[in-house]
With several copies, the nearest count.
Chain A
């Protein structure tokens, strides 16, 4: 057989998971069919706020094949009608007496199959008494506003602030120039193509629960389930969470939803496996949303364009319960990355969380805990200030960037940026796009009455949560893990506490291990998502897999290599210190032919290890990152605006990303393409809104506009490489960069196109009607 290539770092290895995905052989939750499996479907509230006066189940129970209807009262017997959120708030599983948002779970119907259960749901009769609804967080904060939560003092959840308020205020008072804007980052939904679901399988004989579920964080879910159900005797060793293939996560599959608890409860009661799968509307209307931040942003600076201070004040709409998926100590996530790529001396941010009659949340939309909100705001504001002081937005950025020599850089809001070369990335993007020529073209077109805009976004992310000192979820430190076992024949299996949802972990983790051990990546099986087998980890979200579990992979591999060296010394009858490593083998210094390959060493680990050494060749690493990583990039977007329709046409989009060392350039490229599409979408198309009665708009793909290949622009990508100094392989994570960075480039381009009309800001999504109205307001619309 020909030698198998090692395919370590930097190799554009084809995604091994695609072998099954492109053949339709993936194993998603809804593919699971267990013998005797039942199906649950959920009765949901048409009202956003109502008292439940009665739930009549007799007609539902008369539907052939309907086995049970359960309500909050049923669950209350076991004290599982409520559950804690990841932010230690309370969320109803099924209500006892009131519903708090439209499409909230009201009752659950168990049937022999999905159709039967749905028929049962249609036959459940619920009497509601509508209650006053509040959907606007500002109104929710007004005195006398309808109270969302009976168990709370008011609709104000928490106030959180970061930075030095007094110093910031002082800097503003002293500022030569200030700009201010109200920016709304609307509520959107991750809209994974696979909705959420689970199959709960209770083994009554063993008192053991297997819960197959679409979760991004299986271990955390296990511990949470154990903490919730401990009083029922369902302790942690009796719970196995299995997260099979996941058809998109993006943050939406971090929380636990009521459907999971309901399926588990019904499986325990019936002894049969119970499946719960959301339909599209349930997914869009009842799962945790993303964003919904109302930001009042101010920048201060000098006339020459030097930024001096930042003040952001935010109202965060959390819906009816604070079910955000954030590190527990950070109620507004990492929003305090708001100083972005700029060297601010003074900064202050504050956020107030508010209850409204909307679904619980929020989670990140493919972003590391509110980083998009921060990036969008600072990048929009940077453009405002640039224009205000009369600088080209590119020049303005170059002037204010943190300089390469300033790293590690301590921001005014407390973060220690690990590494960066912001000017390098922007310059590369400008070169790629032909910035100067575009500005010339724009000026010419403006003369002709054509609206062309150029937008820049020079974002800095903060990912890889996180160092155990500060980062935890319900107390669980945000380390992540890798276990590797090398088999006698030199092949290996490795497991991780993370869970790929499309990121390609099976491919890239093997490459890290291959790089470190010299075992071909094709000979390393990667597994995740089974709490019985994977080492404990906090899961995949917030671009943390490479920074944490990827680092753990390298560290575990190095432990294996250390043992391998001892075995090699034994086999070669040499001193350890006389051995030298060359990818895939140890040899005696100066005698390259006196060598033992990693495969020979592996066999010896089971057949001829030194007496006194334990057999086996394996290691585990629980990696506690010393810091976060700070990927960055500069995106430049060129738009043309149709004066007749208001349509924004993205003509060019250049994305230069710097995510440190690239494990698999092809996968990085793919992640960026996907991320750009998910930055483009909320910039121009996606939004979930509510009418004054709490009726959702955007609960289906007719109303909630996902971009398809038809709408999506052609992306032009480039790279710079500034390794993370503290990550074992210098990688930073890239899964979310483009989602975070893209919207501001598009919005800035649109405003840039309309600036001369007097337009200073447009909230995303920048839809044709919105643009057309602006054009019309400024007398620039073409009308028939």
Chain B
């Protein structure tokens, strides 16, 4: 599944960058996040998050790696997660642009592939669910940065 969008955040690019590359900061907006561990700062972190898809609820352990970091312009991360009977792989990219009014535009895109129980049991729900979760996530991010 591929998703993309643009979010305008009423904050300077550096501030937005700082927030979005701090897993603990972002983590506060990640739905169902249960734990977060920095393995190598600015390089690798682990997260555990519970996600519910319809009647199916699973807890994913995800390993995330920054594969590109061009502060404060562009960041790309890849992740692979697993849950009992399910797995997820994906990458996500963000590009920050200054807006004339001092705000920052973030273009984001994500490519997520799910495998296993989640994929087979919940595929019908996946699209709408993901839209809802990303919507919530970016609203939260925006709110947190904009304070």
CA distance A519 to B139 in the complex (A): 80
Bound Cα distance from A311 to B124, whole angstroms: 39
Contact between B84 and A695 (Cβ–Cβ < 8 Å)?
no
- Chain B residues lying within 8 Å of A697, measured Cβ to Cβ, are 120, 123
Query: In the complex, which residues of chain B have a beta carbon less than 8 angstroms from the beta carbon of A702?
Result: 124
Q: How far is the CA of A126 from the CA of B86 in the complex (A)?
A: 11
Q: Are B120 and A281 in contact (CB under 8 A)?
A: yes
Asked whether, in the complex, the Cβ of A695 is within 8 Å of the Cβ of B116, the reply is yes
A735 to B117, CA, bound (A): 34
Do A699 and B85 have beta carbons less than 8 Å apart? no
Known contacts A695-B115, A695-B116; is A46 also within 8 Å of B86 by CB? yes
Residue B33 at the chain A interface, CB threshold 8 Å: no
CB of A476 within 8 Å of the partner chain: no
In the complex, what residue of chain A is closest to B115 when comparing beta carbons?
A46
- Are A47 and B121 CB-contacts (below 8 A) given A121-B84, A122-B84, A128-B87? no
User: In angstroms, how far is the closest chain B Cβ from the Cβ of A262?
Assistant: 17
The CB with the most chain A CB atoms within 10 A, among B82, B86, B115, B121, is that of: B115
Instruction: Give the interface of B toward A (CB within 8 A).
Output: 82, 84-87, 89, 113-121, 123-124
Can you list 28 A-B pairs with a CB-CB distance of less than 8 A? Answer: A43-B85, A46-B117, A46-B118, A46-B119, A47-B115, A47-B116, A48-B115, A121-B84, A122-B84, A124-B84, A125-B82, A126-B82, A128-B82, A130-B87, A281-B120, A281-B121, A285-B120, A691-B119, A693-B113, A693-B115, A695-B115, A695-B119, A696-B120, A697-B120, A699-B120, A699-B121, A702-B124, A703-B123
For the complex of A and B, list the 8 residue pairs with the smallest distance between their C-beta atoms, beginning with the closest: A46-B116, A695-B119, A122-B84, A46-B115, A46-B87, A699-B120, A696-B120, A46-B86
How many residue pairs link A and B with beta carbons under 8 A? The number is: 63
Interface size on A, residues (CB 8 A): 28
Provide the bound-state CA to CA distance between A63 and B44, in Å. 30
Minimal beta-carbon separation of B106 from chain A (angstroms): 29
A residues less than 8 Å from B113 (CB atoms): 693
**Within residues 26 to 69 of chain A, which ones have a CB less than 8 A from any CB in chain B?**
43-48
Give the residue of B84, B87, B118, B124 whose beta carbon is less than 8 angstroms from that of A47: B87
CB pair B117–A281 under 8 Å, yes or no, is: yes
Residues of B contacting A128 in the complex (Cβ-Cβ under 8 angstroms): 82, 87
What residues of B have a CB within 8 angstroms of the CB of A121 in the complex? 84
How distant is B130 from chain A, measured CB to nearest CB, in Å? 15
Q: How far is the CB of B13 from chain A (nearest CB, A)?
A: 36
Chain A contact residues, CB within 8 Å of chain B: 43-48, 102-103, 121-126, 128, 130, 281, 285, 691, 693-697, 699-700, 702-703
Contact B119 A700 (CB under 8 A): no
Q: With a CB–CB cut-off of 8 A, which chain A residues contact B82?
A: 46, 125-126, 128
B87: A residues at CB distance < 8 A: 46-47, 128, 130
What is the CB-to-nearest-CB distance from B81 to chain A, in angstroms, rounded to a whole number?
11
Shortest Cβ gap from A11 to chain B (Å): 47
CA distance A126 to B82 in the complex (A): 9
Residues in B with CB closer than 8 Å to A281 are: 117, 120-121
* Assembly CA distance A225 to B123 (angstroms): 39
Give the interface centre of A46, A102, A125 by most chain B CB atoms within 10 Å.
Answer: A46
Q: Which residues of A contact B89 (CB under 8 A)?
A: 130
CA distance A124 to B87 in the complex (A): 14
A-B contacts besides A46-B118, A695-B120, A703-B120, 15 pairs, CB < 8 Å:
A46-B82, A46-B85, A46-B115, A47-B116, A103-B120, A122-B84, A281-B121, A691-B123, A693-B119, A694-B115, A695-B115, A697-B120, A697-B123, A702-B124, A703-B123
Residue of A nearest to B58 (CB): A122
Which residues of chain A are near B124, meaning CB under 8 Å? Answer: 702-703
CB distance from B140 to the nearest CB of A (A): 29
CB distance from A42 to the nearest CB of B (A): 10
Report B-chain residues with C-beta under 8 Å of the C-beta of A696: 120
CA distance A22 to B124 in the complex (A): 36
Alpha-carbon separation in the docked complex, A285 to B118 (Å): 13
Give the shortest distance, in Å, between A419 (CB) and chain B (any CB): 46
- The residue of chain B having its C-beta at the shortest distance from the C-beta of A698 within the complex is B120
Q: Which residues of B contact A103 (CB under 8 A)?
A: 116, 120
Q: Are B121 and A45 in contact (CB under 8 A)?
A: no
B121 touches A102 (CB 8 A): no
| Residues of chain B contacted by A126 (CB below 8 angstroms) | 82
Shortest B107–chain A CB gap in Å is: 27
User: Which B residues touch A694, using CB under 8 A?
Assistant: 115
**In the complex, what residues of A have CB within 8 A of residue B117's CB?**
46, 281
Shortest Cβ distance from B114 into A: residue = A695
**A44 is contacted by which of B85, B119, B123 (Cβ under 8 Å)?**
B85
Question: A590 to nearest B CB, angstroms?
Answer: 67
Chain A residue with Cβ nearest B84? A122
The answer for the CA separation of A128 and B85 in the assembled complex, in Å, is: 12
Complex: A767 Cα to B108 Cα, angstroms: 37
